[in-house]
Amino acid sequence: MANESVDDLDVLVVGAGFSGVYQLYRLRDLGFTVHLVEAGSGLGGIWHWNCYPGARTDTHANIYQFTREDLTNGWNWSELFPSWSEMRAYFDYVDEKLELSKDISFNTRVLAAEFDESANKWTVSCDDGSTIRTSFLDINTGFGSKPYIPDLEGLDSFEGRCHHTALWPQEGLSLAGQRVGVIGTGASGVQVSQEASLDAAHLTVFQRTPNLALPMQQKRLTVEDNDAMRAEYPEVFPARGETFAGFDFDFVDKNATEVSAEERNATYERLWQAGGFRFWLATFQDTLFEDEANRYAYDFWRDKVRARINDPALAEKLAPTEPPHPFGVKRPSLEQWYYDMFNNDNVSLVDLNGTPIERITAKGVQTSAGEHELDILVLATGFDAVTGGLTSIDIRSTDGKTFGEVWADGVRTQLGVATAGFPNLLFGYGPQSPCGFCNGPTSAEYQGELVVQTLVHLRDNGLARIEATTEAEEEWRTLIADFWDTTLFPRAQSWYTGVNIPGKHVESLNFPLGLPTYREKYQESADNGYAGFVLT
């Protein structure tokens, strides 16, 4: 469709990650005229862009996929936590099975959109010069489509290779034999550092905040393992919709403060050995609410990690005696040999709190303690998360304002899918939805289906327009803010609140009450004729 102007779409989907792909095939199956526009050259969303060495999922493969039987029957995972390249191969498989590409314009970025009130249609402009007219705009740009590069003095003067993890060269870039510096210790920083430690001449990790990372307990999977997983899908898949974060496990109905020390430690040990996010999301229900409970979890984590680090001074930097923030309120990563690698001669840690970066030089990174010479500088510095995908497109409200302008003093949405002033625009895996607090593929299907049913309702009732009301937005915002304040989350500096981006309004960007409550609230609105929206 590149360079053509298309006039008669029911729905234009933006973004070919899990959410966008779900919208495309569901809406197509339901008879909508639908097309998808994707900035990357392939499917996969986050897995297209994040192809840095070591990039892999933090969710186990069983539930990190579409649940359609025709897809699960023909696909075997090779690892419990698949790599970016396996995720890409998976998306190619999905593409082939569902014949998606014929309805997708790749290498096409949406630049702007304007709503024509007389026709109730959006006119969407893309960077290849094409324009698309569509009744509904269905944006699925995800939480991590706008990489954040900090304003480091001298960054342009660096003479080696410098890449943000989410803008990694598609042709690949080997770290072997190189002097590698990694700024950032979030999930991306942990993963790329682990990989660099294996064969880089030297790896320097620049840490501002230690990551309270959890053991992945990665496993190779055989065909028999896959068959055993498949046998459990009929139970596992529906269970995801009933758990806080869309996983196949959930918080236990007990408080850490009310059980004996023996029971508490035995539970922690079991969760630790089982691996993945269990120590975070299948633990005592008071962990993310009560200081005392949280401290038990932190201390267990700290002692486990410190036992793996030989140098006590280094151990104190990586797993401090006193928590840098409560456990689990800044997203923990999963790790495999992250802590052990610091025992190797080719790996060093720079604590940026003690010795901050002064500038980037032609040769490397200058901190207050000296210059670190590098061949490759990796910026694992995160994203303008959750809202960045929407605010970076010049979408105009009926008053001529962008999302950035409308949300300058805080995000406003009804049910995390629509904002007043932007009629016929729905977004998936976006602000004030479970998003960053929910497994992506789970949200793609559960939230995605609610969006699909909204569009079906409009079609079946001959309705041409849907728009959120400002009253409903205020209610949604208050619900989120009031709950947020009962948790320990506000006590961390993290992309969960936007505080990682200078000038961004600080608030809960996600819906923090969990997927089941989200689904209930959405259904309640639907059952009441889409209360909180004006339909005409």
Query: Which residues in this chain contact ligand NA7 in the complex, by CB under 6 A?
Result: 144, 150, 165, 183-189, 208-209, 331, 352, 380-383, 493, 495, 500
**What is the nearest approach in angstroms of ligand NA7 to the Cβ of residue 440?**
9
**What is the nearest approach in angstroms of ligand NA7 to the Cβ of residue 36?**
23
Helices and strands per DSSP (H, E), number in the chain: 16, 20
**32 vs 489, which CB is nearer to ligand NA7?**
489
**What is the nearest approach in angstroms of ligand NA7 to the Cβ of residue 118?**
42
**210 vs 532, which CB is nearer to ligand NA7?**
210
**355 vs 461, which CB is nearer to ligand NA7?**
355
**185 vs 454, which CB is nearer to ligand NA7?**
185
Chain center to CA of 480 = 19
Report yes or no: 24 and 10 within 8 Å, Cβ to Cβ.
no
Phi, psi of 245 (to 5 degrees): -110, 15
Residue with tokens 């104190």: 316
**What is the nearest approach in angstroms of ligand NA7 to the Cβ of residue 155?**
10
**What is the nearest approach in angstroms of ligand NA7 to the Cβ of residue 516?**
21
Nearest partner of 302 among 322, 281, 284, 286, judged by Cα:
322
d(CA 25, CA 480): 31
**100 vs 182, which CB is nearer to ligand NA7?**
182
**382 vs 430, which CB is nearer to ligand NA7?**
382
Q: Which residues of 497-529 are buried (b: 16+ CB within 10 A; e: fewer)?
A: bbebbeebeebbbbbbbbbbebbebbeebbeee
DSSP letter for 56, please.
Answer: B
**What is the nearest approach in angstroms of ligand NA7 to the Cβ of residue 385?**
7
Q: Which residues of 195-228 are buried (b: 16+ CB within 10 A; e: fewer)?
A: bbbeebebbbbbbbbbbbbbbbbbeebeeebbee
Nearest partner of 9 among 123, 102, 160, 162, judged by Cα:
123
**145 vs 500, which CB is nearer to ligand NA7?**
500
**122 vs 298, which CB is nearer to ligand NA7?**
298
Nearest partner of 145 among 48, 266, 33, 237, judged by Cα:
48
**186 vs 448, which CB is nearer to ligand NA7?**
186
Q: Residue 253: CA atoms inside 13 Å, Cβ hemisphere, count? A: 1
**What is the nearest approach in angstroms of ligand NA7 to the Cβ of residue 480?**
19
d(CA 247, CA 433): 16
d(CA 231, CA 269): 28
**What is the nearest approach in angstroms of ligand NA7 to the Cβ of residue 488?**
16
Nearest partner of 428 among 417, 420, 419, judged by Cα:
417
**What is the nearest approach in angstroms of ligand NA7 to the Cβ of residue 387?**
14
Phi, psi of 347 (to 5 degrees): -125, 130
**What is the nearest approach in angstroms of ligand NA7 to the Cβ of residue 328?**
12
Residue number of the CB closest to ligand NA7 reads 186
**380 vs 426, which CB is nearer to ligand NA7?**
380
Residue with tokens 């949200």: 443
d(CA 192, CA 167): 13
